Amino acid sequence: MEAPITLEDVLAENDTKLLSRLSEKELLRLYWKFRGLAKTLERDTAFWGSTNENLKVAYDTLDEKERELASAYNIIREDLEVAASVQTALLPRMFATMASELELSVYHKQLSEVGGDYFDYFRTATDRYAIGVFDISGHGVSSALVMAYLKAQFMTIMERLEDPAEIVEWVNKASFDFLREVRKYATVNFTTFAEDRLTYVCGGGYGLVLAKSGEEYVFEKKNHFLGLRQKPYVEKELPFVVGDLLVLYTDGMVEAQNAEGSDYSVARLNGLVRKNRELATDDIVRICVEDYRSFRVQDSDDITLIVMRKTS
């Protein structure tokens, strides 16, 4: 008669013929092991059945939420399309006086449907024209709302004042508490034009005058942004006569980067304008935009570029 073996021997050999050699004690152990495994299987089957049911409910809920999100997204998209149309409608058109005295071209592109870059044309108290270029902090809807608010502030004061520093200071005081509350600020580059000169207030943004005589003037950015502090603004005056070129722009183009992480830069943009200064303003803008697009990996900010030449 063959010697008895243990249950572990049978399991190790994985041979059912060895069961006949188990002792009564080992057979009893096999029975209880089987019962234990049967209960574990029953418990696991119940668990996974419940889990599958819960997953089915979860998937049904996710499908419902996905439909709700899709509906909400469509509503948001429609609202953004309306907002973009409104913001486009708020962009200015040249006055007759401006059109008769300036050759002017603009490239204006928001990073998303709506944004914070903003430019506008104004009339002063003595019916001279003015140009403002602004960059509200951030992007999107909140910046666009602040843009509309600042436009209203400038429109409110323009017919009462003439001096650029006084105009900008009034808007800053009127808007200061609001901008602080919504945690926004805005660069300001505000220029008024007289017969043979321009006067500007620059608190951020960029300005370059290329005189037909060969002289060059870069706007001094010594003033503070709108909404940052309450203190007087300082204005500067420059000659601006027939044939002179004025370029105004925000930082969206010059701070964009290429694949190596280098900025497009003020020097590159100014140099390109300088090189093509004799061309029509439409061509200067086109050349600058094409060069910028070939340089940068992607847009990273709202962009405004205005090129104008005094014609009379």
Do residues 50 and 131 share a domain? no
Q: Are strands 186-193 and 129-136 parallel, antiparallel or unpaired?
A: antiparallel
Asked if 82 contacts 109 with a C-beta cutoff of 8 angstroms, the reply is: no
Determine the structural domain holding residue 55 and report its residue range: 1-90
Q: What is the longest distance spanned by two Cα atoms in the chain?
A: 126
What's residue 165's pLDDT? 96
Output the CA–CA distances (angstroms, integers) from residue 268 to 105, 187, 295, in the order listed.
19, 22, 11
Q: How many separate domains does the chain show?
A: 2
Do residues 204 and 304 share a domain? yes
Asked if 210 contacts 273 with a C-beta cutoff of 8 angstroms, the reply is: yes
Do residues 267 and 159 share a domain? yes
Please state, in angstroms and rounded to a whole number, the distance separating the CA atoms of residues 281 and 185.
31
Do residues 137 and 71 share a domain? no
Could you list the pLDDT tens digit for every one of the 312 residues in the chain?
567 788 788 788 888 888 788 888 888 887 888 888 888 888 888 888 888 888 888 877 877 777 777 776 665 566 556 556 655 666 678 888 889 999 999 999 887 655 678 899 998 888 889 999 999 987 777 788 888 889 899 999 998 998 999 999 999 999 999 999 999 999 999 999 998 999 999 998 999 999 999 999 999 988 999 999 999 999 999 999 999 999 999 999 999 999 999 999 999 999 999 999 999 999 999 999 999 999 999 988 889 999 999 999
The CATH number that applies at residue 274 is 3.60.40.10
Please state, in angstroms and rounded to a whole number, the distance separating the CA atoms of residues 151 and 190.
13
Asked if 208 contacts 221 with a C-beta cutoff of 8 angstroms, the reply is: no
What's residue 112's pLDDT? 61
Tokens 């002179």 belong to residue: 244
Please state, in angstroms and rounded to a whole number, the distance separating the CA atoms of residues 135 and 117.
4
**Which residues, other chains included, contact 209 with Cβ-Cβ below 8 Å and sequence gap of 6+?**
198, 215, 216, 217, 218, 238, 240, 244, 245, 246, 247
Do residues 100 and 205 share a domain? yes
Beta bridge partners of 120: 132
What's residue 209's pLDDT? 98
Do residues 278 and 137 share a domain? yes
Do residues 282 and 205 share a domain? yes
Secondary structure class of 167 (helix, strand, coil): helix
What's residue 12's pLDDT? 84
Asked if 304 contacts 133 with a C-beta cutoff of 8 angstroms, the reply is: yes
Do residues 138 and 254 share a domain? yes
